[in-house]
Amino acid sequence: MDFLPDKEFHPIFDRVSRKVDLKGAGTPAEINERLTRKIKEYKRQLKKKRLKPSRAKRLISGLRGLIFSGFGRRAIDEAIANPRGEVALTLRYGREKAKEILVERARKRIGSLRVRKRLRKRR
């Protein structure tokens, strides 16, 4: 995953964080372990016929591909490089809380950018 630019990594991370709870994962091994747990869960759902076979196989192969491509290492590296970014917040607080924090920061930024017009005196 080191070869992927940030522009491509972030949407992948966003999709994975929707399916896999990454809250509290601090090492690449933990992230890979959570991906493996999700794969096992999909396999169980496949056996109980809660998922269609084609969908389950696609989900499982996608998560396996992430494990082998170094997704965990890239996520941790990204969190270290940008500790106030989306990846770091998701790993620390979980997806929902991270989104709330990012939205709140954006609101504060927009609020501080308001420009007031100077009133002109009439003659």
Determine if residue 51 is left, alpha or beta; phi over 0 gives left, psi from -120 to 50 gives alpha, anything else beta. beta
Look up the pTM and report it: 0.82
Q: Supply the pLDDT for residue 119.
A: 66
Q: Is residue 99 part of a domain?
A: yes
Query: How confident is the model over 64-108, as pLDDT tens digits?
Result: 999 999 999 999 999 999 999 999 999 999 999 999 999 999 988
* Percent over 90 (pLDDT), the chain: 77
Range of 66's domain? 6-112
Q: Is residue 98 part of a domain?
A: yes
Encoded tokens for 108: 């504060």
Q: Is residue 37 part of a domain?
A: yes
Q: Is the dihedral of CA 7, 14, 88, 106 positive or negative?
A: positive
Query: How confident is the model over 7-24, as pLDDT tens digits?
Result: 899 999 999 999 999 999
Query: How confident is the model over 47-66, as pLDDT tens digits?
Result: 998 889 999 999 999 999 99
Q: Supply the pLDDT for residue 10.
A: 94
Which residues touch 9 (CB under 8 Å, ≥6 apart)? 1, 74, 78
Q: Supply the pLDDT for residue 115.
A: 59
Q: Supply the pLDDT for residue 110.
A: 82
* Total tally of structural domains belonging to the chain: 1
